[in-house]
Chains A and B, each alone.
Chain A
Amino acid sequence: MAHFFYQTFVGQILLILLETLAVLVPLLIGVAYLTLMERKVMAAMQRRRGPNVNGPFGLLQAFADAIKMIVKETVIPAGANRALFLFAPFLTFSLAMAAWAVIPTGNGLAVANINVGILYLLAMSSLGVYGMLIAGWASNSRYAFLGGLRSAAQMVSYEVSIGLVIVSVLLAVGSLNLNDIVLAQQHIWFCVPMFPMFIVFFISALAETNRAPFDLPEGESELVAGFFVEYSSLAFGLFFLGEYANMILMSSMVSILFLGGWLPPLGIAPLTWIPGPLWLIFKILFCLFVFIWVRATFPRYRYDQLMRLGWKVFLPFSLLWMIGTAGFLMATGLLPHMGGVN
């Protein structure tokens, strides 16, 4: 059996398929329950009940929504560019799934434990712009187009500060491998010495996933629903899934970069009994809760304020912090050894 999986060509491909399924199936179930969690948590914050009819505690609500979405009619606007119109949601969805290949859920437990894991994540999230931009353009609608342009400008702006935050973390790690980044936090999580960067990264993650208070691309009050106004049925569902999968992805990035990934908070007995993947899930859930909490709390930003925050506040600040980190590590001789662990 082991020989079949590790030595033969077919076996290896089968193994990769199984690994992929082992990541994607829990992810999609997670997305389904994230929508329910969002509605329940926001309901609790607004003293409502939230969905409570379908199944016990409304647990089947997500599936009811999914079935409703699938059986709706797919409407393609007459003036739309058909091929691109249908391509955009698939792109968004598949990119959101593809990024999960490098997320380590335990020591070395990733579908692809590659050397440049963090760059891969950055690349996938920067490709996400195209789904929105193409959707906005192909719909041949002014609202959708404006939404697409907004989202592109917003994501490109906030990627810059995300990149700089990641660089300052990498300076302390000395490797681009996500596994090494987590292992470097064995003694102390990076959210303690780099607390301001943690906050900057979290806010940028909100902007990157187009979540409130930065949900301008789909600002209902101005653009109806932003870049996906013209979408219905399964195409809309794919955007929806991609967006929520991206939320979980960003939460897991926050957990891996700043909250010690699969590591327990302290390396002592009762905490180490809980397996690593569970710790990662706890941390992701915590981040997602804060995402929802922020949505229930803050009003939407105005567009010029959003741009100002990205370019005039976060960018200089994270640049200064990066230089400070480099200087501090150099002066104290704590700079990781050349080439890192791998």
Chain B
Amino acid sequence: MMAQLVFYVFATVLLLSACMVISARNPVHAVLFLILGFFNAAGLFLVAGAEFLAMLLVIVYVGAVAVLFLFVVMMLDIDFSRLREGFQRYAPLGLCIGGVLLAELVMAFSNWRMVPSGVVAPLPVDPGLSNTAALGTVIYTHYVLLFQACGLVLLVAMIGAIVLTLRDTPTGRRQNIGRQHARTREETLELVNLPLGENVFEQGGFLRPKGSYYEVAVPGSYGAGEPEKTETEEKGA
């Protein structure tokens, strides 16, 4: 009884959140309902005894894919009045597609025969194995080629995405850590031996003048003020 109750709770929340995904006005709310839907689907997997799939669903879809969705949707600047503008125009097309899908679903379900008892096609593994081990045995022995092919398709997709988005920007100030580490002291730092007591103002240091800053500044330097005057002096020299 307990398992059935849990199943119905998960299934109800799943269906409700699926409805909310398409009916929510705010796209961020829609994505959050989608995530709730994923989560409840994982719960259904758990009830069915497929704990590995349940955890994987949460880790991959909820933890990674949906985060990227949310990322994009949160940054979108959506004008709702413009969104509703096209509704009249696209309604017939949408209805057509929806009708075709509905018809297909009805056809598929009317020809679906439920096998009354037990397993349809028993897994070619030892039934005593745990969920994860059984899945691993099937994937890595019987279907290893298909599995590798899937991996290859994903790899190609990943490389494609990187190639499409990677632009070489020569203007950016990119850090080259290797070069930074390869620098030596000689290239970057120069130590100068100054004779003691020279280049020090009588009235105090350059940074800490005793009197007013302008009074102690070297005549004609920037610190003395009146930049126009220094310019003319330079010209004269």
Interface residues of A (CB under 8 A from B): 84, 114-116, 119-120, 122-123, 126-127, 129-130, 133-134, 137, 145, 149, 152-153, 156, 159, 163, 176, 304-305, 308, 338-340, 342
Contacts and interface: CB of A to CB of B under 8 A. Distances in A.
A213 to B, nearest CB: 16
A137 B75 CA distance: 10
Given A115-B51, A129-B67, A339 B130 contact: yes
Contacts of A145: 74
Interface string B16-48: 000000000000100010010000000000000
A126 B132 contact: no
B55 A126 contact: no
A116 B133 contact: no
Given A129-B67, A130-B35, 9 more contacts: A114-B51, A116-B52, A116-B55, A126-B64, A129-B63, A133-B74, A137-B28, A152-B71, A156-B67
Q: Which of A123, A133, A308, A338 has the most CB of B within 10 A?
A: A123
A156 B58 CA distance: 13
A316 to B, nearest CB: 14
Contact of A127 (B52, B62, B177): B62
B58 A123 contact: yes
Contact of A159 (B55, B63, B70, B175): B63
B63 A115 contact: no
B59 A122 contact: yes
26 contacts: A114-B51, A115-B51, A116-B131, A116-B132, A120-B55, A122-B55, A122-B63, A123-B58, A123-B63, A126-B58, A127-B58, A127-B62, A127-B63, A130-B35, A133-B74, A137-B28, A149-B71, A152-B70, A156-B64, A159-B63, A159-B64, A338-B133, A338-B137, A339-B129, A339-B130, A342-B130
Nearest to B66: A130
B9 interface: no
Contacts of B130: 115, 339-340, 342
Main secondary structure of the interface of B (DSSP, over half): helix
Contacts of B145: none
A123 B59 contact: yes
Interface string B105-146: 000000000000000000000000111110001000000000
B105 to A, nearest CB: 31
Interface string B201-235: 00000000000000000000000000000000000
B51 to A, nearest CB: 5
Q: Which of A116, A130, A156, A163 has the most CB of B within 10 A?
A: A116
A145 B74 CA distance: 9
Nearest to A124: B58
Nearest to B39: A127
A126 B177 CA distance: 30
